[in-house]
Structure 1
Amino acid sequence: METAPHAELGREDRPIAAGTDPRDTRDRLIEAISAHGPITAKDLAARFSITSAAVRRHLAALEAEGIIQEHAQPVGPRGRGRPSKSFVLAPAAHESLGSEYDQLARLAVEELMALGGDGAVHRLAERRVQPWIRDLAARIRAAQESGRTVDASARVQLLAQMLTEMGYATTARPVTVPLPAASGRPGGGTRTLRTAQLVQGHCPIKDIAAEHSELCEVETQAISQMLGVPVQRLATLAGGAHACTTHIPLTEGRTS
């Protein structure tokens, strides 16, 4: 499987101007690592049009404070030299990005269960995603009315943008999967499966979702409904991963 780990189907980040408050630079780097991680210092420097040395100074400080951590590289074939270090948000940093209403929300869910049983949480989860479904449908209609072609990739892009606006730090990353050529067909050629990974770098309800998996399950079902394709949730922040990752099939193509 070949991935484009830092490609985004959404907007590009604005360059950081000279003389920018270091605290603003720091906050924007944290936001970028949350949304695009695992990401290298080189990629961050290119994204914000600042020097690699400046980025590394910020990364060293953020790592020392426990806000970011080095991402473990998967074991695989290695070329010459050492692979570049890449970073993701540390688990403790997600707590600082959370809401002070977390405890109140947890108490509310517990009270809901006491009154309505386990099924009440599932019903709550379904009500939570209904506005998402309506919002994305409205965005798709608006795009189509403006003359844009809204194919499968565009739907994923619109969903990523919507979730980011809701605080989920979401990116859509294209993935190409090579498939064996169809047997018995003259001319051969390889087939490729175009897919995408929807990566949510932050989850405002992570702690509650860790205790009530229905929230993640219904969210996954809603993503499938909104995009009109079967999707697969590969990892979740609530389950201990550095991001919520959802595999989304797009179209199957053929190359010679």
Structure 2
Amino acid sequence: GEEAVIAFARARIAEQAGAYREAVESAAPEERTEALAKALSADGYAATARSAPVGEQLCQHHCPVAHVAEQFPQLCEAETEFFSQLLGTHVQRLATIAHGDGVCTTFIPKIAPKTTAPKNDTNASASTAGRNPA
């Protein structure tokens, strides 16, 4: 049933995970999407990465399992889940070849650097707190 398909989809990704993880973890943070694209291309996905206004898009121009994923979208879901874990951020699948789109497109938001707020900000007033001063 459904659980068996999900288990199969996750096992399939797990078989490929090593090479993808090695490529991504050895890249600088700002180059990780590109590194993933290259690793995916080595497996036949013809993947590219490009900058987007608030993140990046990972595009897979070929999918070796598209004909199966048409009936079992769990394959795409497991892949998306893996990308999120691998890149350490929420990702969003925008399009899939299995659903009739020209490419599989995954949006990866930019991870904002962590900043620390001033410990004692006495300049903020109740009338301006939380509003953009610009």
Normalising by structure 2, we get a TM-score of 0.78
Give runs of aligned pairs for residues 96-245 of structure 1, distance below 5 A. Answer: 117-141=1-25, 143=26, 150-151=28-29, 153-176=30-53, 193=54, 195-245=55-105
| 2:62 aligned counterpart, secondary structure | coil
Q: Identify if the C-alpha distance between structure 1 residues 210 and 229 changes in structure 2 by more than 3 Å, giving closer, same or farther.
A: same
Q: Supply the AA of the counterpart residue of 1:150.
A: A
Q: CA deviation at 1:155?
A: 1.0
CA RMSD of aligned residues (A): 1.6
Paired with 1:211 and 1:242, the residues of 2 have a C-alpha distance of 17
Once the two structures are TM-superposed, the CA of residue 250 in structure 1 deviates from its matched residue by: 1.6
* Equivalent residue letter for 1:216: C
Q: In structure 1, list runs of 5 or more residues that go unmatched.
A: 1-116, 144-148, 177-192
Question: Within 2, Cα distance between the matches of 1:140 and 1:237?
Answer: 24
**1-structure distance, mates of 2:110, 2:87:** 10
Between structure 1 and structure 2, the one with the greater Rg is 1
Letter in 1 for 2:81: Q
**Counterpart mapping for 1:31-110 below 5 A:** none
CA separation of 1:252/1:216 partners in 2, compared to 1, >3 Å: closer, same or farther?
same
Q: Post-superposition shift, 1:121?
A: 1.1
Superposed CA offset, 1:127-170 (max 9, x none): 011133322222345x3xxxxx611x311111000000000010
Q: Take 2:40 and 2:80, find their aligned partners in 1: how far apart are those partners?
A: 13
Percent of aligned positions that are identical: 39
Q: Distance in 1 between matches of 2:33 and 2:100?
A: 24
CA distance, structure 2, for counterparts of residue 207 and residue 120 of structure 1: 19
Cα distance in structure 2, aligned partners of 1:210 and 1:155: 28
> Partners of 2:38 and 2:106 in 1: how far apart?
15
The secondary structure found in structure 2 opposite 1:127 is helix
Other structure's SS at 1:204 match: coil
Instruction: Report the counterpart of residue 23 of structure 1 in structure 2.
Output: none
Task: Report the AA paired with residue 159 of structure 1.
Answer: L
Query: How many equivalent residue pairs?
Result: 113
Cα pair 2:60 2:103 within 8 Å, conserved: yes
TM-score by length of 1: 0.42
Measured in 2, the distance between the counterparts of 1:245 and 1:226 equals 16
